[in-house]
Structure 1
C-alpha cells in the first residue's frame, strides 16, 4: 500500500532532483530527459496510430466510393444479360442496400484547345447520377450532371488531373471514340464517335482515379459502346456494412452462378488494400521500439537517482523506514515520470493532429501515397490505451532501480557517502 511517505519523497525527488554539488544540475537533466523520452515515445506512437488510421479511413472511403462494396461481373468480361432480373436477385440478399448498373469500358477522349489536339485513353463509366454520391460530393467545378445541354450533347464529369491533361474546363466540348465490338474483319471500320460537354470536374485526391475515370450517363455509355437494352458490364452493390462484403460476394456467386460471379472491394483493389495493411503492420514494430526506449529511459534515470541519493536513502532506512517502503518510493517515482511524460506526449500529439487535420501542413506526393496530405484520425481508445500502457511500462521499468535502492546498506552509505 502506497502511503504519504512514499508519495511525498517521490514528489520531492521529482520536483527538486539535485545531485551533489559538483553534479547538481546533472541529475535534474537526467530526470527531465527521462520524462522527455517518455513524452516523445508517447507522442510518436499516438501520431503513428493517428496517421495509420487516417490512411486506412481515407483510402477505404475513396476506394469504396468508386467501386462500392461488391461488384458483380461475368467471368469472360462479356455484358451481363437480363440485368433487371439479376439486379432484383442480388437486391433480395441480406445486407444489400442498393444495386447500381454500370457500363465501364475503354475509350479515347479528344479535345481541341488553342489549335492543339490532346488525346487520352480513359475508362468511361456509364452510370446514373444518383448512384455516384461520392464523386458528386467531390465535384470541385460545375456539377455532377450527366444530362444533355442545349445542343443535345450529354454531360461528362472528368477527374481533375484528366481535365488538366486535356486542357478542359467546365462547358468545353469533348469527343469520345470507342472501338468496342469491331472485330478482326472490321479493322477499316470507323470507331463510334460521340460528343459530350464537360459538366463538372471532380477531385478525390486519389491520383490514379482522378486521371483514369470519366463519368457519363448510362444511356450515353450504352450508345457509345453499343450495348443493347438490358445489358451492362457490371453491377455495383452497396451494403449496410463493408465488413459483410466477402460474405455477400460469396452469397451472390452461389445464388446466381456462372457465368456471373461477385468480388468484394478488397479483391477488386487487392493492391491498394494490401498497401494499407502494410502501413498498419508497421505499428507493432513502432510500439516495440518505443517500449524498449521508454524502459531504458526509466531504468537509467532511476539508477542515477539511486546512486546520487544513496546517502539519503541510507539515512531514511536508518531512521526506521522499511526496505519495502523504499521500493514503493521508487515505483511511485517511475509512475510519476510515466504520468507526466504520457500527459505531455499526448497533449503534443493531439495538438499536432488537430493542426494537421485543419491546415494539412504535411503534404504528400499523390503518385506515391494516393493522397495529397497526411490524414489523421484521432481515436479515444488509442489515446487511453497508449497512456495506460506507457504508465504501466514506466512503473514496471522502475522495479530494478527500486530493488537496488532497497538493498542500500544504511551504515555504509552514511559513513562513506555511498
Structure 2
C-alpha cells in the first residue's frame, strides 16, 4: 500500500473529538466552502453567459438570417435598392458549401394611422419559401397566413408592442400609408400577433406577403429587397460568406443591380461586439473565483501543516524525506478539493436545473432582449471547469507545501 496516501486518508478521515481545541477543522471547512462556492459560481457564470449569447444570437438571426445578399448600392435605410432574386439564383446559392436555406424578402417603410394614434412601421414581405419556424415560436395570438409572391393576401402579422400601442387585436383592420411620389394606402387585416422582445424589431416590423411589398415599391417582376441565407454551421459563417462573395463578384442582374453579401455580424456589429464583451466578464469571474478558492486552500493547508508539526517530525525521524511528506499533505489537500468540488457541482447543477425548468430569475426584455436568465450547460466546458479547478488549486498548494522542509525533527517532536 502507498503509505503516503494511507496517512493522508487517515488525516482526512480523522473525526473531531469533543473537547479538542485544534483550529484545523474550521480551516478545512472554510477551504472546502471556498472551493464549492468558487466552482459553483464559475459553472453558473459560464452557463448563463453561453446561454445568453446563444439566445440573443439566435434571436437576431431568426429576425433576419446568417447571411444577407442585397444590392451593393443599398443605403442605410429600410428602403433598399432591389436586386433580381429569381429561381436560378436561389438554386445556385442553395448548392454552395455551407448553405442550408435561401429565402427572399422585401421591405417598405410606411405609417399606420388610427382615429386617435399613428405609428411608423416597416412592412416586410416574405414569400412561400420563407422559414416561419422563428415566427411560430414567438406567435402570441392568431395564425401565420400562407404568404406567397403571386397573390396579395392583405393579411399581416403585427408585433404585440404595436398592437398594444394602437389597441388592435386579431381580425382588426389596419390602414397603412406609404409615401413616394404620392401617398398610397393599403388596408390590411391582422392575422396574428407576435412578440420577440427585440425592441428594434417589435417597434417597427409588420410581416405580409412578398407580392404586396413588391407592388408598393413599383419593382419590376422578379426584383426583391434581398435574399436571406441560413448556414449549416455557424462556426463556418465567414467561410461560407466568402464562398458567396466570390461567386457574386462583379455579378449584376438584368437591371444593372450589383450583388453584395454580408454576414449578420456585419449587419449588427454593435450587438455582436456587446456579446463578445461578455467573454471578458466571464474570464474576470473565473480568475477571481479560482484565486479565492486557491487562497482559502493555501491558508487551510498551512494551518494543517503547523498543527501536524509533531507528526512531521516523527515521520522525518523515521526516515521520510521532505518530498514524501509533502506528497502526504498534497494528497490530503486533493481529498478536500474533491469534496468541495462535489458540493460545488451539486449547488451549480441544482441552480441550473431550477432556472432551466422553472425560470424564477426574470429579466427586463426591453433591456436584455429575453424575459428570463437563460441556461446552457455544455458538457465539455463543465468537464474543463472541473479539471481546471482541480489542477490550478493543487498547483497553488505546491509552493506552500515547501514549508515542510523547514521543520526540523528534533524541535518539531517537542513542538506544542
Verify: 1:57 aligned to 2:54, yes or no.
yes
Q: Decide whether the 8 Å contact of 2:147 with 2:210 is kept in 1.
A: no
Q: Decide whether the 8 Å contact of 1:71 with 1:265 is kept in 2.
A: yes
Aligned residue in 2 for 1:185: none
Aligned residue in 2 for 1:205: 197
What is the Cα deviation at residue 234 of structure 1?
0.9
Of 84-93 and 167-176, more deviation after overlay is shown by 84-93
Q: Decide whether the 8 Å contact of 1:129 with 1:144 is kept in 2.
A: no
Q: Decide whether the 8 Å contact of 2:158 with 2:207 is kept in 1.
A: yes
Partner secondary structure for residue 414 of structure 2: helix
TM-score, normalised with respect to structure 1? 0.88
Following the alignment from structure 1 to structure 2, what is the Cα–Cα distance between the partners of residues 94 and 400?
A: 53
Partner secondary structure for residue 107 of structure 1: strand
Aligned residue in 2 for 1:109: 112
What is the Cα deviation at residue 265 of structure 1?
1.3
Question: CA 1:388–1:20 in structure 2 vs 1: closer, same or farther (change >3 Å)?
Answer: same
What is the Cα deviation at residue 302 of structure 1?
0.4
Aligned residue in 2 for 1:228: 220
Following the alignment from structure 1 to structure 2, what is the Cα–Cα distance between the partners of residues 82 and 369?
A: 35
Question: CA 1:416–1:63 in structure 2 vs 1: closer, same or farther (change >3 Å)?
Answer: closer
What is the Cα deviation at residue 329 of structure 1?
0.7
Following the alignment from structure 2 to structure 1, what is the Cα–Cα distance between the partners of residues 12 and 162?
A: 61
What is the Cα deviation at residue 306 of structure 1?
1.0
TM-score, normalised with respect to structure 2? 0.88
Following the alignment from structure 2 to structure 1, what is the Cα–Cα distance between the partners of residues 169 and 9?
A: 67
What is the Cα deviation at residue 94 of structure 1?
2.7
Q: Decide whether the 8 Å contact of 1:43 with 1:346 is kept in 2.
A: yes
Verify: 1:71 aligned to 2:63, yes or no.
no
Following the alignment from structure 1 to structure 2, what is the Cα–Cα distance between the partners of residues 93 and 321?
A: 69
Partner secondary structure for residue 364 of structure 1: coil
Question: CA 1:153–1:237 in structure 2 vs 1: closer, same or farther (change >3 Å)?
Answer: closer
Q: Decide whether the 8 Å contact of 1:326 with 1:402 is kept in 2.
A: no
Unaligned runs of 5+ in 2: 75-80, 253-257
1:246 to 235, 238, 242: 238
Q: Deviations over 1:116-170 (max 9, x none)?
A: x33211221100255132112321211111569xxx9621112222222222221
Verify: 1:97 aligned to 2:100, yes or no.
yes
Q: How does 1:156-175 map to 2 (within 5 A)?
A: 156-175=156-175
What is the Cα deviation at residue 92 of structure 1?
4.0
Q: Decide whether the 8 Å contact of 1:337 with 1:394 is kept in 2.
A: no
Aligned residue in 1 for 2:11: 13
Aligned length: 399
What is the Cα deviation at residue 74 of structure 1?
1.1
Question: CA 1:305–1:390 in structure 2 vs 1: closer, same or farther (change >3 Å)?
Answer: same
Partner secondary structure for residue 398 of structure 1: helix
Unaligned runs of 5+ in 1: 183-188
What is the Cα deviation at residue 322 of structure 1?
3.5
